[in-house]
Chains A and B, each alone.
Chain A
Amino acid sequence: MVITDRPRRKAAPTRPVEAWEYGPRIDLLEKVTGQAHYLDDIPDLPGTVYAWPIKSPYSHARVVSIDSSRAEALPGVLGVLHRDTLDGLDPGVRVGEYRGHTREHGETADQHFVTTDKARFDGDFLGIVVAEDLRTAQHAAELVDIDWEILPTVFSFAEAMAPGAPLIHEDLGTNLAHEDSFEWGDVEAGLAAADRIIDGAYYTGNVFHHPMEPSGGCLVNFTDEGVDLWFATNKPFSPADQIAEIFGIDPDRVRVRVPPLGGAFGSKKITPAIMGAMAMSRRIGRPVRLFATAEQSFRVTARHAALYRARAGVTNDGKLTALDVRLEVDTGAYFTGARLVTRNMCISSWGAYAIPNFRVRAQTAYTNKVPAASFRGTGKSQTTFGVEALMDRIARELNISPLQLRLQNVPLRGRYIADSWKVQGVEYPADTPPMDADLDRMLLMAAESIGWDGNAGGEGPMEIGARRVARGRGIALSLRHGAQGAGRAYAMATMYGDGTVKISHAAPDLGGGTYNMISTVAARSLGIPQEMVRVGEPDTGHDLHFEGSSAQRTTVQMGNAVLKACESLKRELADGASQIHGGDAQEWTVADGAVSRGSERYPYAGIVQAFAAAPSFEGVVSLKGLGAYSYAPSPDRAFGGLDHWAPGAAAAEVEVDLDTGETRLLQLAVVADVGKALHYGAARTQAEGGAVMGIGLSLFEDLVYEEEQLLNADPFQYRLPLMRDIPEAFDAMLIENGDGPGPFGSKGMSQTSLPATIPAVANAIYDAIGVQVTSVPFTPEKVLSAVRQQG
């Protein structure tokens, strides 16, 4: 029986909200009635056959021999692909997320199409079986005989970097994958000028993204014409080059189509197994379907583990003078996202505070774990936990309230974080915009929501029933650089004779409401009802490039591209009106569903129809506008392009059982500066969803490796947050100043609440028991051990 004296609560919207901004998103009816076609719902193509991957059961083992003859002899088996049966394909082609990786990092250092020498993690891809039916494929995969030589494993940065450690990529001669550094000011001088130096070390373990829909499935048809690939991804364009490289075909002949996704969080990328399915489709000339399972998903990708070690210089009255950070990052078996993630950790490890002197030095090592890559708020959940836990240690040492310490160190609106900085030792002028949010206000809103004055000092110990508990409260800020990511976004708006508009684009809807955002922007721009707008599914065949729905850039980048496509369509309508009804295009006003000049007024559909009806225009049934958006290209000066700051704040109250270490959230409040919510309900559920994910990452989620294996790669032993873990008092608040670079003043906001929630929970536990738990997740056993340190 749960007893809580914190009443159920949900904050009222911070402004009057129109029905259309709060009602069901356009995609939800189909989803909740089972009509939406996710990847697994797409019907088989004629002649489709089924694939099952062959994966390493060991985390580090040399492949002595592979014998697939028993599998191939099984009736119904159409073929087995592995290192000895590659049809002339180069097994060394890299697959997955590898931007910034070059072959100087080592021939074997990135994830290959097929593993040839040895398995480097539990789940490394060795090959694939294709059969007439799935059961036969699965059975045949078990009949592939592999002779292994088991090798010693390393499962942490420290083990990987220890002298004499087993090498994961022998050709590199080291397990060090990557180094990065970033600094401004003079850290040593800043530390020397401080009254106190306070240090801390905070570890964040590996987790899996765990979307509801498994990661790594596909339907593929490889014909003489090219490759038709359906798969659930956030980046439809990025695999084309890798596919082209493996198969030696023109990237233009690769067509990727993306159905709606059941979540991604960075996990939905091209995999070696998908490439394998493609190779088998090429070999046997039939479409191949690969189903992803939950257990296999855990072996696709993960979040980087990282140790954040820092020394902060502070004055006695609580002003930060310097912050010196070292990061030890564990990228898993392959390079995959090492450069991107390490950089993101570096540029976020100063948190959200005005620090005159800052330095971070990062080292990233290979280990025998599932290769890590992007994860919601890439790199930031690890560093934000570190810096925000350190802030609370400072507050306690200086006897200043955690809220006050933060208020007096946040950069105020208009302030720049630095004038210039060094990236890997090279000096650049700083290229970030001034602070464009009110971090102080966000902190105050979060604290107020849980009824807290911001002073440390938990309640308890006290007895509730037979339990002895203590309660505590904590607060944290997160600061993401907004709209990160390369490439230009394109969208096309097509108006048909019935007055409907279709938006073509390549921004997959990961579940967060991207299609609804697109239709909202189009409807508002054109002044037509949202029901008149149809949103197409991403299809690289349209050649409308977009780097992908990631890094919370979709609203700003794709939203602006859609806005511009609609503006272009409006100009096209004005041109059309002038051709049909006379006058100059400039004389025609296009707004609210009609093209008008003086007292003349024609609905949009009338213009399209007039073209279609003209004998000489036979066949013209639509008018189109193209839109493009990106921020200005810039050299790599640290942030890789940044057009706004995207902050989040969180405040939490926890109850810790002092005898078992079990921790329960009593209250949680998150605040996101969204610029302008394009759909209030969708924006708020993004903030809530991130916070709930943060609860899971704080208290439960952890991938455990032992001996040769990943131990808990299934939903029964990998504990996700449940409904009952969500506190009844749970607020998600939005700040809307209409000042973002996105359509109608919007900003990116989907990754703000997750990184703030983890340290808010950590700091609340610290407040309750007086000892910090310094590694995520805060399991009962770790919390109990901390309680006992306090004595």
Chain B
Amino acid sequence: MLKPFRLLRPGTVAEAGEELERHDDAAAIYAGGAELLLLMRQGLLQPEYLIDIKHIPELHGIRRENGGISIGAAVTHWDLERDGEIRKHYPLLAEAESHVGNIRVRNQGTLGGNLCFADPHADPATPLLVLDAEVELGSTRGSRVMPLDDFLLGMYETALEPGEILARVRVEPLPPGWGVAYQRIERFFRPTLNAAVAARSGGNVVNEVRMAVGCVGPRAVRLPDLEGRIRGLTVEDAVEAIRGARELLEEVLMPVDDLLGSAAYKLDITVVALERALRTSMMGGMGD
């Protein structure tokens, strides 16, 4: 049961930042509430103030911008999943978004909320890392931009400073000729593991590749070392390289035994998911 709280409704990002500075730990940002209300119901979080940012115009809209796209932090998963521009030019993101929770969660939950909450068992961060996404953070001090990779620090931990709010997420499209694939393995509602791969094939050779894995460790991670090992190999050799990278993956991903499975099983299926995603992306596209 929810404890009583006061709802604040700032009109701009700066005003929201002001409220956040004023109330500090006593306040929580509220947009979709998909994650927040769950914790409040369980009594794990008991903010005195909810800063409702749903109605701040700067946090809305999916806009074309300098050849890329800028997504407002308060845009819902359901809006992203259905957006024509996203589906056409960022199918990896659209696919991952379509797996978040269930239709009720996607209709309420926002991309910004998902990233700021930094639950390790989330869908969107993994493909966004492959797409080299950047985040724009706003506060009373103005705004700053950083790579998503620097924003995600660990389990439920981000680079947000006190008084700072995630305002927008920016993504550049992949150049022509790249294929992408998203693999998700689940036991409960959240993914046990997800893998996103983008690759540019030259015949049977992996000319370019980007890979990320989420949910296994404390945060979703890009795998630059593995990408380096694979680049320039044939698909079959690349698959062998992935299979041989268990130690590397264990070191980078830091899997643990939990309800979703043993650390060893998670590594097993990480290898499988990466292999499948690579094969699919090398064939040019999304798929099962």
Contact = CB atoms under 8 A, between A and B. Distances in A.
Contacts of B185: 660, 662, 780
Interface of B: 1, 3-4, 185, 187-190, 259, 261-262, 265, 268-269, 272, 275-277, 279-280, 287-288
B3 A135 contact: yes
B265 A711 contact: no
Contacts of B188: 716-717, 719
A467 B187 contact: no
A102 to B, nearest CB: 39
A414 to B, nearest CB: 47
Contacts of A717: 188, 259
Interface in A116-143: 134-135, 138
Contacts of B268: 660, 784
B1 A138 contact: yes
A347 B191 CA distance: 42
A780 B288 contact: no
B216 to A, nearest CB: 14
Contact of A466 (B3, B4, B287): B287
A1 B4 CA distance: 43
A784 B261 CA distance: 12
Of the candidates A1, A662, A779, A780, the one having the most CB atoms from chain B within 10 angstroms of its own CB is: A780
A464 B288 CA distance: 8
Contacts of B1: 134-135, 138
Given A2-B288, A466-B288, A704-B259, 9 more contacts: A1-B287, A135-B4, A464-B288, A465-B288, A467-B276, A659-B269, A716-B190, A779-B187, A779-B261
A717 B42 CA distance: 14
A134 B1 CA distance: 9
A38 interface: no
A719 B187 CA distance: 7
Contacts of A779: 187, 261
A717 B277 CA distance: 27
Contacts of A660: 185, 268-269, 272
A277 B288 CA distance: 53
Contact of B288 (A467, A662, A784): A467
Interface string A752-791: 0000000000000000000000000001110010000000
B265 A784 contact: yes
A2 B277 CA distance: 16
Given A1-B287, A716-B188, A466 B259 contact: no
Interface of A: 1-3, 134-135, 138, 464-467, 659-660, 662, 700, 704, 711-712, 716-717, 719, 779-781, 784
A466 B276 CA distance: 5
A247 B123 CA distance: 55
A719 B275 CA distance: 27
B280 A466 contact: yes
Given A134-B1, A138-B1, A716 B280 contact: no
A780 B280 contact: no
30 contacts: A1-B287, A2-B288, A135-B4, A138-B1, A464-B288, A465-B280, A465-B288, A466-B275, A466-B277, A466-B279, A466-B287, A467-B288, A659-B272, A660-B185, A660-B268, A660-B272, A704-B259, A711-B259, A712-B259, A716-B188, A716-B189, A717-B188, A717-B259, A719-B187, A780-B185, A780-B187, A780-B261, A780-B269, A781-B262, A784-B265
A121 to B, nearest CB: 19
Contacts of B272: 659-660
Contacts of A780: 185, 187, 261, 265, 269
B103 to A, nearest CB: 12
A3 B259 contact: no
Nearest to A700: B187
A138 B262 CA distance: 36
Nearest to B279: A466
A2 B272 CA distance: 18
Contacts of B287: 1, 465-466
B261 A781 contact: yes
A505 to B, nearest CB: 36
A36 to B, nearest CB: 23
A695 B246 CA distance: 33
A8 B260 CA distance: 31
A781 B265 contact: yes
Nearest to A464: B288
Which 7 A-B pairs have CB atoms at the shortest separation, nearest pair first? Answer: A466-B276, A465-B288, A659-B272, A1-B288, A781-B265, A781-B261, A466-B279
A608 B269 CA distance: 74
A716 B101 CA distance: 10
A557 B275 CA distance: 59
A135 B280 CA distance: 52
A138 B4 CA distance: 13
Contacts of B261: 779-781
A135 B262 CA distance: 39
Contacts of A662: 185
Contacts of B280: 465-466
Most buried by B among A135, A138, A467, A781: A781
A780 B273 CA distance: 14
Nearest to B189: A716
B187 A3 contact: no
Contacts of B279: 466
A343 to B, nearest CB: 33
Nearest to A658: B272
B267 to A, nearest CB: 12
A558 to B, nearest CB: 38
B211 to A, nearest CB: 15
Contacts of B276: 466-467
B242 to A, nearest CB: 12
A761 B40 CA distance: 39
Residue of B4, B265, B275, B279 ringed by the most chain A CB atoms within 10 A: B265
B39 to A, nearest CB: 12
Nearest to B2: A135
A704 B268 CA distance: 22
A466 B190 CA distance: 22
A717 B192 CA distance: 12
A271 to B, nearest CB: 20
Contacts of A466: 275-277, 279-280, 287-288
Nearest to B277: A466
Nearest to B190: A716
